[in-house]
Structure 1
Amino acid sequence: MARTPAAEVVAGERSVRVSSPDRVIYEATASTPEVTKLMVAEYVAAAEDGLMRALRDRPTALERWTSGVREGMRLATGPTDRDADAFYQKRVPKGAPDYLETARITFPSGRTADEICPTEIAVPVWCAHMGTLTFHPWPVRRTDDPASLDHPDELRIDLDPQPGTTFSDAVRVAGVARELLAEHGITGFAKTSGNRGVHVYVRIEPRWDFVDVRHAAIGFGRELAARDDQVTTAWWKEERGERIFVDYNQNCRDRTIASAYSLRPLPGAPVSTPLAWDDLAEVTDPATLNLFTVLERLADGDAWATIDDVAHDIGPLIALYDAQPEGELNYPPDHPKMPGEPPRVQPSKKVAAHWDADGNRIDG
């Protein structure tokens, strides 16, 4: 069978070649038609205003589903997971166009990598040609000062529904989070995760490091949990119960969240969609926010159009953390052991005699 010729997608002032344009990326569902690779690239180009507001000048990892999305397919859990159907690309792929710019980021291990740093819409469109569905930007922006990549300009509050809770529960908690932020003089911007969760973003002054911003997220999360008994910051799943988990570790170095206007690898091509707070409260099924519907909303203006107008002081949130007696919480398992961190063992499996006061295991 003859191969379908490549297509060209207009992306800003460039034309981007898209190979295998007829490849089906998302199969049809009861409510949405099938989505081809060309349609994904065209969506990315059309979402320029909102997508570039989320990605511009940010080191960005790519979530690549080169064979499309099918039931049973899975995303690689790490570089040694060779049998997965999709993977994260943290370094610039081979064959990148000469207009693609990079930013050198430092992982928690101290290793470095040159990641894609989008400066124009042609770059995400080329990434779509490479099978990218979801963009994962760091919460930092590249400037002329290399230190800028060590100082986040976003606080990310990830509200993750646990088993027994729903998207509607996350929406309700997001409203409480909005009120709590406002009490500290901070404006939050909401989006759907593209699945069951809700993300609340805050633009912040880029003068704190990753540890400080993570502590601000912990302090805020604990205060939110004190106000609402359906909220938890418990790291271990066995302790979360039927509550909305504030995933504070999404503010760690090298932890990223699907960007605004990113597609998600789920049936129906759902999109992580920014919404005005009143609009979020009316959404009952986030799957209705998808490749076929989101551009209509964006045509009326990006709900996050003013997110860059004010950079907030998160000192009050860090002060919450400092005043709370609980202290440090667990880091992700691939992160170096940090000062004051509790033992990295499930509470139900912890034997107190095997751990010292600083959370270090006692051998012997």
Structure 2
Amino acid sequence: MTPITLVEGRRISLSNLDKVLYAETGFTKGEVLHYYATVADSLLAHIHDRPVSFLRYPDGPDGQLFFTKNPPPGTPAWVKTTPVPRSEDPSAEQVVVADMATLMWSANLVVEFHTPQWPAGAPAVADRMVLDLDPGAPASVVECCAAALWLRDRLAADGLHAFAKTSGSKGLHLAVPLEPTPSRQVSAYAKRLAQEAERELPDLIVHRMAKALRPGKVFVDHSQNAAAKTTAAPYTLRARARPTVSAPVSWEEVAACRTPADLLFLADDIGPRLERDGDLFGPMLNPGLAGRLPAGGGAAP
């Protein structure tokens, strides 16, 4: 029998709570739901008023994974959606996770949460920039941290504030709050910045995706600023061998990173981190920190 839970007045069916999703650690679906309830305030703040895409992994990370932008079949009528016109479907809509009830309904589907860099109602007008730092073996998050520190200082020279989080996989994400800016302009600036980083640190950084270029280096992926692209949200669980989290980290932690284990955070680590440090990505939501891309593009061509 599927238990029915009342969340903020909404009746939600929660299923298979004892099902082990992460075989390596024995982490169950019930623990996934508990995790999302624990981090709800912080997670909801960062995906507030954004169309959400789901990477679903209902049988765990070793089972079938499928990425969906459209509201899943059976989406309750009370779940908020927003128009997200796409060339192939001008009437397309996506879910907006607006409250705890929608969060728990979504979490019951077993998902990673991904969002674009723009809010609902303003497609292709970004209010943040993202750089995805992806290490090519034998490089690891340690090399990503070295790249991140250079990028932080370079962004600061253009008057921009950068914040870091783990990807929940092997790398780091840098996020920069912006005044509303067309995605194409953000994409162009991010690409120039990645190219400049490669010129300045050619032994550490590459800006192109070609695998042959990447062993031992950090790929600065600027492509997620394109209007159609999405990035894993802060505090989302990832479909990896263990219940890793895309966890905000301090610049002190980035600077002190010496081994990959230093910046590996599992679901059970996040509650104590929030209690101790608060939401390290909270400043992303401060309108006073939203930067403006420099006139003329800033980063050297």
Say whether the fold is shared (TM-score over 0.5): yes
**Which residues of 2 match residues 161-176 of structure 1 at below 5 A?**
161-176=135-150
Q: Tell me if 1:186 matches 2:157.
A: no
**Which residues of 2 match residues 141-290 of structure 1 at below 5 A?**
141-142=119-120, 146=121, 148-206=122-180, 208-229=181-202, 230-283=204-257, 284=259, 285=261, 288-290=264-266
Equivalent position to 1:56, from 28, 48, 54: 48
In structure 2, the gaps of 5 or more residues are none
Task: Identify the residue that residue 41 of structure 1 maps to in structure 2.
Answer: 33
Q: Deviations over 1:77-98 (max 9, x none)?
A: xxxxxxxx11011101122223
Supply the RMSD in Å over aligned alpha carbons.
2.1
| Larger Rg belongs to | 1
Task: Identify the residue that residue 118 of structure 2 maps to in structure 1.
Answer: 140
Greater share of helix residues, 1 or 2?
2
Equivalent position to 1:21, from 14, 17, 28: 17
Task: Identify the residue that residue 307 of structure 1 maps to in structure 2.
Answer: 284
How far apart, in 1, do the equivalents of 2:298 and 2:168 lie?
32
CA contact (8 A) 2:135 2:214 kept: no
Which one scores higher on RCO, CA 8 angstroms, separation ≥ 6? Answer: 2
* TM-score relative to the length of structure 1: 0.76
* TM-score relative to the length of structure 2: 0.90
Q: Which amino acid aligns with 1:239?
A: L
How many pairs are equivalent?
Answer: 295
How far apart, in 1, do the equivalents of 2:218 and 2:199 lie?
13
How far apart, in 2, do the equivalents of 1:202 and 1:215 lie?
15
How far apart, in 1, do the equivalents of 2:296 and 2:45 lie?
25
CA contact (8 A) 1:6 1:20 kept: no
Task: Identify the residue that residue 3 of structure 2 maps to in structure 1.
Answer: 6
CA shift, 1:199, in A, is 0.3
Moved more, 101-110 or 189-198: 101-110
Percent identity of the aligned residues? 26
How far apart, in 2, do the equivalents of 1:233 and 1:26 lie?
33
What is the DSSP-based 3-state SS (H/G/I as helix, E as strand, rest coil) of the residue aligned with 1:171? helix
Greater share of strand residues, 1 or 2?
2
Equivalent position to 1:92, from 65, 71, 83: 71
How far apart, in 2, do the equivalents of 1:112 and 1:214 lie?
25
Task: Identify the residue that residue 341 of structure 1 maps to in structure 2.
Answer: none
What is the DSSP-based 3-state SS (H/G/I as helix, E as strand, rest coil) of the residue aligned with 1:293? helix
Q: Deviations over 1:28-68 (max 9, x none)?
A: x3xxx411111111111111122112211001100111112
How far apart, in 1, do the equivalents of 2:20 and 2:162 lie?
37
CA contact (8 A) 1:196 1:286 kept: no
What is the DSSP-based 3-state SS (H/G/I as helix, E as strand, rest coil) of the residue aligned with 1:149? coil
In structure 1, the gaps of 5 or more residues are 74-84, 325-364
CA contact (8 A) 1:48 1:121 kept: yes
CA contact (8 A) 2:126 2:186 kept: yes
Moved more, 181-190 or 13-22: 13-22
CA shift, 1:286, in A, is 6.0
